[in-house]
Amino acid sequence: MSHENERPARRLTSAFVAAGLTMGLAGGFAALTAGSSNAAAAPGCTAVYSVSSDWGSGFGATVTITNNGPAWSSWTLTYSYAGNQTVQSGWNGKWAQSGKNVTVTNESWNGSVASGGTVAPAGNFGYSGTNTAPTSFAVNGITCNSTGPTTPTSTPSTSPTSTPSTPTSTPSTSPTTVPTTPTTTPSSGGGGHVVNPFIGASQYLSPDYTNEVNAQAAADQGSNPTLAASEAKMAGFQTAVWMDHIGAIAGDSIHHGLQWHLDQALAQQKAGTPILFEVVIYDLPGRDCAAIASNGEIPATSAGLTQYESQYIDPIAAILGDPKYAGIRIAAVIEPDSLPNAVTNQGKPACATATPFYESGVEYALNKLHAISNVYNYVDIAHSAWLGWSSNMGPAAQEYAKVARATTAGFASVDGFISDTANYTPTTEPFLPNTTLQVGGNPLDSAKFYQYNPYFDEYTYDQAMYTQLTGQGFSPNIGMLIDTSRNGWGGPNRPTALNSTPTTPDSYVAANKVDQRPFRGDWCNQAGAGIGERPTVQPYGAGNHIIAFVWIKPPGESDGDYVTPTHPHGDPHCDPAGTNTDGNGGTYPTGSLSTGDVPAGQWFGAEFQQEVTNAYPKL
């Protein structure tokens, strides 16, 4: 299961991305609802004020405004501070301040906000004394009726730091408090859909994965009991079940089949509590057209599409639709790396050929699975290092909308989207909150590692994609998921404080990024990677678009193998002695582990040991 982000050379420009993007502050607003938070509702607008990090003399904040009425062609946000807070810098809008009064007007690219759409102007501020949150907001002269600061049901923890060099931005790994009766919305599949299926549900623990983990922990107990104890903890976290070939439906020599897992989920389910089951739909015709490690079994032909529908999707839908599983909430991750290739890799003949089958296949999968009322469809949107450029993000949202519109239920067939599936991009970059920070006269995103991609992490990317997707017509209720299974990047090489001394973007980024890959496009069995945030419901609070952290890629299972004298199959991207290119003439190491050559989806013990050792937060 490779997760490729091949991309063509692109114009090097510092232009911001279009359509209402949320640029990060203090680690990409890792704690969007941390600190002071004021949620105010009115017929015309909703405003949520959030402080992400406060270091005593300054802070980062965002105001997320939602249009509850007719579409806006432009917007002006106004509010006032009670203290001496002053705007230092701002983005996603033109910021001005007169005394205590703050005014933010739209940029040329984010003035249009559809009904139900959001935009999130953000800034850095200075202050002394007390940092009291504002309590009243207005958009286009309409007051978003303020009721004063409120505290979300549960928020990630952030500890104020004594200096701005060490902002705290890592959310708590504890799941949020959940309501006993989730809100439901109608579903055309019959029965009810909850808005967020992760709320109030227990997590299915795959016995296949538990056995893999326990076997590794037992093997390491004699030589490294401390590591073994940490490894054993991994058996207590939910991972997804991958349907990555037709044979996986019935089960193969490595993993059990879909019906077996669902029966196990029934056995694990506690009375009165729904259980959540995660399954990956991953076998499109011409799958992984830009990679080799996970090339699919079905050809990109009309006959292949028929095979995909009749031999793959139909049997899966028949099992999931069995009435005895109606009480299980099934989160389906739809075809990683498919539609992103339709956006960025049309220069590759294999991708150009596969694209119409990707579109038709995803449409068919959405139709069949949406018809089952307890199934929730989450479509893969790659990650920030692939679709973060403006030349990719807007067209990607249009591509997803195109496929959704073609389904029987239209946009309702999609419950949400997932990023970073089986990839390594950090959830936040805590010491690189301002991607356009000037270093040596150049913006930070001009560093070779980012190449003018304004999204350094998944948090800011997902917020921006949410705006793009809802702008294309998707419901404001769509939920965003982040696969945090291997993006923690802990260990000795993780920076622990801001190093502000480097004088060039490249050196500044190298000194402060937690992502330790030599090239951001590296994706196969990465050396130095670690377990990320634990599976968590509403990690940023109930008002945030990110509804859960999930472990879709089971940590310890390989991304792919490479060609050796003993076997001809393999992907050069997985070869530790190989190189990757950035599309602009740059060549970099693959960053792959040199301790094994393991086919995709099979257990890779050395990788698991590393990921557990480098877990952040620590296990």
Token couple for 485: 């299974």
Q: Is the separation of the CB atoms in 436 and 454 below 8 Å?
A: yes
Q: How far apart are CA 317 and CA 330, in angstroms?
A: 11
For residues 231 and 217, the answer to whether their CB atoms sit within 8 Å is yes
Q: Which parts of 361-445 are beta strand (E)?
A: 375-380, 416-419, 438-439, 442-443
CA–CA dist 112, 471 (Å, integer): 9
User: Which positions ≥6 away from 354 have C-beta within 8 Å?
Assistant: 284, 285, 286, 287, 289, 300, 341
For the chain, the 3-state helix, strand and coil shares in percent, each to the nearest 5, are 25, 20, 55
Cβ distance 305 to 365 under 8 Å?
A: no
378: three-class secondary structure by DSSP? strand
> Is 322 in the active site?
no
- Among 54, 208, 483, 559, the one annotated catalytic: 559
- Are 391 and 11 contacting, i.e. CB atoms less than 8 angstroms apart? yes
In the chain the first and final C-alpha atoms are separated, in Å, by: 26
What's the CA gap between 476 and 185, in Å, rounded? 13
- Beta pairing partners, 87: 125
The residue annotated as part of the active site, out of 244, 283, 337, 571, is 337
Give the residue from 140, 199, 499, 192 showing the smallest Cα distance to 327.
192
Tokens of residue 40, six digits: 């105010």
Q: Which two tokens stand for residue 107?
A: 């940029």
Task: Check if the beta carbon of residue 66 is closer than 8 Å to that of residue 118.
Answer: yes
Q: Distance from CA of residue 105 to its chain's centroid?
A: 29
- Torsion 462-468-474-475 (CA) sign: positive
CA 39 to chain centroid, in Å, comes to 24
Note if 208 is an active site residue: no
Report the alpha-carbon distance of residue 369 to residue 350 in Å, rounded: 27
Residue of 459, 509, 466 whose CA lies nearest to 484:
459
Sign of CA dihedral 463, 551, 540, 456: negative
Which H/E stretch holds residue 266?
A: helix 258-268
Residues sharing a CB contact under 8 Å with residue 73, sequence separation 6 or more, in sequence order:
111, 112
Which residues are identified as catalytic? 337, 559
